[in-house]
Amino acid sequence: MIRHSSLLWHYTYGAVFTALCAFAGLIGLVAYQLEGSMARQETELLQLSQSRLQEKLSADVELAGTRLEFLFQDRYRRLNSIAERVDTAKAIASRNVVAMSELLGPAAVLADVDGIIVLDEEARVIGASSYSADLVTLGSKIQGFSFYPEMARSLKVSFPGEKRTVSKILPIADTQVFVPDETVNAVSQIIFVPVFDDFGYVIGGLLAQRWLRPEETLLAALAQINAFELAIVYDERIISRANFGGTESDLVSSPETPNLTSNGERVIECGVPVLPLSICALMPIEALTETQNELTRIGIEEESKMLKWLFLFGLLTLVAFATVAFLLARQVTRPLTNITRVLSGIADGDFESKVVGTERSDEVGDIARSVVSLQRSVKERDALRLRVNEKNLILKSQEARLREQNVLFDAALSNMSHGLCMFDAAGKLIVSNQRYAELFELEPGGIRPGMTAAELSAFQNVETLEPENPGSAGAPSAQRKPSSGTQSTEMVKIRSGRIVLTTRQPLSDGGWVAISEDITERQEARDRLAYLARHDILTQLPNRIEFRDRKQALLKRQQVEGGEFAILCLDLDEFKTVNDSLGHPIGDELLRQVAARLKALASGSEIVVRLGGDEFAILTGLPSQVQEIDELAQTIIWELSQPFQIADHEIVIGVSIGISLARGDGTAGDELFKQADLALYRAKEDGRNIYRFFEADMGVAVKDRRELITDLRNAVGNGELELYFQPQYCLRSFSISGFEALVRWNHPTRGLVSPADFIPLAEDTGLINPLGEWVLQEACRIAADWPQHLRVAVNLSPRQLRGHAFGPVLIESLARSGLRAERLELEVTEGVLLTDSDDVLNALHQAKSLGVKVSMDDFGTGYSSLSYLRRFPFNKIKIDQSFVRSMAYSDDSISIVKAIIGLAQDLDMSTTAEGVETKELLDMLVEIGCTEAQGYYLGRPMPVAEAQELIFSVDQAISTAAQ
């Protein structure tokens, strides 16, 4: 009986199935190709040709819109490039209409715009690219333009990193005509770009206008290349065209066929790719007929190809039938050949050859599976014999390695630096080393294998420092079994005071390993670092970190308990003077003694901290009464005002205190500290060595000071500073010998700001360096135009002379102005030499070597003035006005001024008296031999123009007297 899965049935099924598939495929393909193919072609040709032509025109509309958008963007980039030029900013800043026209006229041609008008920072018209532009009319109408608010906002909010520009396509009704030209059309492109100066401030802007041409060159080239007609429509009128000679009526679509014009002559497609312009692309109707003919030809060619493929498919079907028959026959011969080769290999000892056909379910598969079973059984028999021999060899090798490992394990246990104990699951000791006994100071031989963890712990006398968990604090370390699968640690102190850290690691069998190490030195270093992180090294007081944590803890307690506490911010008065004059070691010792006095004043609930420098803070306890806080502040001021005796120096300082109260109203800790700092600032302003409680209006003064500093940073660049000059008279000839340059600040909103207000701010913030450099250069420039016998005196700040930058600034100022060095006089106060800095002395000697005069200002009001006269050879001494003014009623002041004049004469120095406000004072100075004088009686500080007028009038009077 033949099985259904035999080779015969496989062969029969394959042949019949292949013949049926080929016959059915051939019949179906012929029927499908012939049935109505030509009918469909005829109905679809027209639709296909119209669709293709419409897609082409749509693409042309999009491309024209893209080209037009590119033109708009290119003009914007060109105008932006003109706005970023340095000469453009200079022309706008000069407000010179002719310069702007000469610069922007050629620039407008390069930018491909019809006209450019210039606006200032307030959006007012100040110039144009053409002389023919009516600036007055434009200025009156510009605020009525629809895009004016956007320009005004751009001028206000733009800065170099965030530039706000305007680019729009607008009709003539919204823009008017900026510059008269024959290119005026119904629509124009409007572009606005702000202009910045060198300091990044907006100084104006450029507003350009470019009319859409009746025939744009770029669009005409596009229409010529793509062979279509182009029309740009606005408000139902053609305002630009390319390759199109029709009128608006030629653009009207047919109601029945929207893609054709009403006259049937053209195919049309319109779109709005660029608002508010409508772009229409057209092609003659003949192009549609050509497309239909082309598609008909393609259909005929495709039908011919289909017949050829039909014939080829029938031929391939016959070849496939023959191939299947051949492959079925090979399925029998090839597996039998492979099975014969495998059987021969088994006889020769080859058990790895693969048997083909085991997956088959016919007779060949049965034979193949039988051969595989034979191959496996013979192979397993031989492999069993080999494994027995290998096991014997492995056992001998493992025995030798075990003996070697035992020796190494014993050596490792005996020589490791850590103590080790291993326990089994029952808590009994398996093994330990000698180091473990040494760490816990146990007797030799006291530890034996088999001991329980409890017995081992009985030998130890330790104090637990850091238990692994709250519940294990009472049990010794060795007795405790770690949690399943987790590692645990414990820190203990033994009898000798050493600290031991034990780490317990669980084992897979339920036991554990305890490893102990001596970490005494490591723990001491960690404790020291923790202390240093929260304390000041110099005074050993808590630092900002400890202060913040204590403050937050008090705030949390206050939420629960209620009550009030206070933050006192302390700043030492005159500490910088002590530090600079006596040196940093004395300053450090002073800080330590201040800290000691503060700690002595603080109660047990109060904490004294050093915030940094000469700043301290005190955090009172909770609760605290306002009266107690007031008494504490008074006591601190009195105690710190008492003299400090340090290294043969008796030092007297003061302290200013700012106080803020935490009333439990939800104010954050940082805000409380800020309030105390504001109160401290008010205490300094009110005269120092006092205390002030925080009040709500204190933040206003600080804000005003910050705004003044911000405005001062920009004052030089904005041209807000101005030099005034006060005349100095020679008392021998009663003629003008020179002027002292004094800086004034004309603030745009505050008006004239007093130097007493902004000069200290400049000193504190470091702005005195650029300010002083500007004053020196400007004074030299102005004085260079005066008669050659007149000098100019410039005040210097200590900050200007520190470092090595003053020398080059002085040389550059003299070189650029052309002023002779002997006509310049530099005035320095005693504070300049207070630090005995080599940089300061070198700068003064360098100025002296150039021929510049150096005078000491405000003589007699500082520290150790006589020693300064010895340390540097001044040319002049300026007597402080406090001595001069008091000469009218104080004999002591007369004596002091006489002494200063006599001292100056002996040292070959001239003298200038400041503050001469009456004729009586002037006569007294002449009588006692003063060289020069200045003051309100002789002349107030005056602007440059008045100073030049004074010089001219004096010279004219001298000339008249000489004649």
Note whether 429 and 499 are same-domain residues: yes
What does the block give as tokens for 841? 């002395």
Would the pLDDT of 326 be above 60?
yes
What CATH number does residue 505 fall under?
Answer: 3.30.450
Of the pLDDT bands very low, low, confident and very high (cuts 50, 70, 90), residue 524 is confident
Residue 657 DSSP SS3 = strand
pLDDT in tens, 115-168: 899 998 888 999 998 888 888 888 888 888 888 898 889 889 888 888 889 988
pLDDT greater at residue 661 or residue 372? 661
Average pLDDT score over residue span 309-314: 69
| More confidently predicted of 686 and 293 | 686
More confident residue, 38 or 680: 680
pLDDT value of position 470: 43
Does residue 31 belong to any structural domain of this protein?
no
Residue 887 has pLDDT above 80, yes or no: yes
**What is the structure's pLDDT at 329?**
58
CATH code (residue 103): 3.30.450.20
Residues 736 and 857 in one domain: yes
Query: What integer pLDDT is reported at residue 489 of this predicted model?
Result: 84
**Residue 617 token pair:** 């803070």
Same domain as 835, residue 805: yes
Q: Is residue 319 a part of any domain in this protein?
A: no
Supply the pLDDT for residue 959.
56
Identify any residues that bridge with 253 across adjacent strands, giving them in sequence order.
261
Q: Which amino acid is at 149?
A: P
Percent of the chain topping pLDDT 70: 84
- Under DSSP, the state recorded for 495 is T
Alpha-carbon distance of 109 to 92, in angstroms, equals 19
What would the mean pLDDT of 324-329 be, rounded to a whole number? 64
Confidence band of 592 (pLDDT split at 50, 70, 90): very high
Do 769 and 691 fall within a single domain? no
Q: Residue with structure tokens 């144009």? A: 128
Rg for the chain, CA atoms, rounded:
52
496/238: higher pLDDT: 238
Q: How confident is the model at residue 724 (pLDDT cuts 50, 70, 90)?
A: very high
Same domain membership, residue 919 and residue 791: yes
Residue 303 contacts residue 42 (beta carbons within 8 Å): no
Residues 446 and 577 in one domain: no
- Angle among Cα 778, 781, 787 to the nearest 5 degrees reads 130
Most confident of 36-40, 287-291, 418-422, 699-703: 418-422
Does 103 share its domain with 169? yes
Domain end marker among 212, 246, 272? 212
Task: Report, as an integer, the average pLDDT of 551-568.
Answer: 90
- Mean pLDDT, the chain, rounded, equals 81
Instruction: Say what the pLDDT of residue 425 is.
Output: 82
Specify the range with the lowest mean pLDDT, choosing from 281-290, 314-323, 506-515, 797-806.
314-323
pLDDT for res 870: 72
Q: Which two tokens stand for residue 859?
A: 């003589």
Residue 753 sits in a domain whose CATH number is 3.20.20.450
pLDDT band at 943 (very low <50, low <70, confident <90, very high): very high
**By mean pLDDT, which of 37-46, 219-228, 857-866 is the weakest?**
37-46
Q: Inform me whether the pLDDT recorded for 484 exceeds 60.
A: no
158, part of any domain: yes
- Supply the pLDDT for residue 738: 94
In a shared domain, residues 496 and 585: no
Residue 805 lies in a domain: yes
Average pLDDT of 286-315? 67
Tokens 């003109």: give the residue: 82
pLDDT at 962 exceeding the cut of 50: no
Report the candidate in 922, 937, 912, 859 with the shortest Cα–Cα distance to residue 737. Answer: 912
Same domain? For 796 and 900 the reply is yes
- Between 879 and 304, residue with greater pLDDT: 879
Lowest-confidence segment of 537-541, 813-817, 837-841 by average pLDDT: 837-841
Note down the domain range covering 193.
84-212
Nearest to 419 by CA among 336, 503, 327, 331: 503
DSSP string, 153-195: HHHHH-BTTB---EEEEEEHHHH--SS--TT--SEEEEEEEEE
The more confidently predicted of residues 12 and 582 is 582
**Residue 728 predicted with pLDDT over 60:** yes
Residue 477 reports pLDDT greater than 60:
no
Q: Give the Å distances, CA to CA, from 95 to 81, 135, 519.
A: 20, 13, 80
**Nearest Cα residue to 775 out of 723, 850, 720, 817:** 723
Tokens representing 313?
Answer: 């498919």
Contacts 24+ apart (CB under 8 A), 392-401: none
- Give the range among 142-156, 310-324, 399-413, 800-814 with minimum mean pLDDT: 310-324
Residue 375 has pLDDT above 90, yes or no: no
CATH code of the domain containing 570: 3.30.70.270
The answer to whether 490 and 464 have CB atoms below 8 angstroms apart is yes
Q: Which residues contact 274 (CB under 8 A, 6 or more apart)?
A: 65, 68, 69, 72, 169
Residues 881 and 810 in one domain: yes
Residue 337 is predicted with a pLDDT of: 75
Which residues are CB-contacts of 137 (< 8 A; sequence separation ≥ 6)? none
Token pair listed for 230: 């182009």
Mean pLDDT of the region 37-51 = 62
**Whether residue 474 has pLDDT greater than 50:** no
Q: Map residue 911 onto helix, strand or coil.
A: strand
3-state helix, strand, coil in the chain (%, to 5): 50, 20, 30
Question: Are residues 742 and 808 located together in one domain of the fold?
Answer: yes
Q: How far apart are the first and last CA of the chain?
A: 159
pLDDT band at 843 (very low <50, low <70, confident <90, very high): confident
**Among residues 398, 397, 435, which one has the least CA distance to residue 415?**
435
Mean pLDDT of 695-723: 81
Is residue 128 included in any domain, yes or no? Answer: yes
Band of the pLDDT at 910, cuts 50, 70, 90? very high
Please determine, for residue 658, whether its predicted confidence score (pLDDT) is greater than 90: yes
User: How many structural domains are present in the chain?
Assistant: 4
Q: Has residue 672 been placed in a domain?
A: yes
Higher pLDDT, 852 or 27: 852
Q: Which residue has the higher pLDDT, 377 or 4?
A: 377
CA-to-CA distance for 102 and 157, rounded, in angstroms? 29
882: tokens are: 């406090």
Say which range, 154-163, 247-256, 506-515, 560-569, has the weakest mean pLDDT.
Answer: 247-256
Other CB atoms closer than 10 Å to residue 619's CB: what's the count?
A: 24
Structural domain contains residue 876: yes
Q: Do 489 and 586 belong together in one domain?
A: no
pTM: 0.42
Cα→Cα distances 755→760, 762, 796, Å: 8, 10, 14
What does the pLDDT read at residue 816? Answer: 92
Q: How does residue 208 score in pLDDT terms, banded at 50, 70 and 90?
A: very high
Write down the pLDDT at residue 963.
47
Q: Is the bond leading into 284 cis (omega within 30 degrees of zero)?
A: no
Instruction: Return the minimum-mean-pLDDT range out of 90-94, 292-296, 351-355, 717-721.
Output: 292-296
Q: Quick check: is 261 in a domain?
A: no
- CA–CA gap between residue 955 and residue 790 (Å, rounded): 11
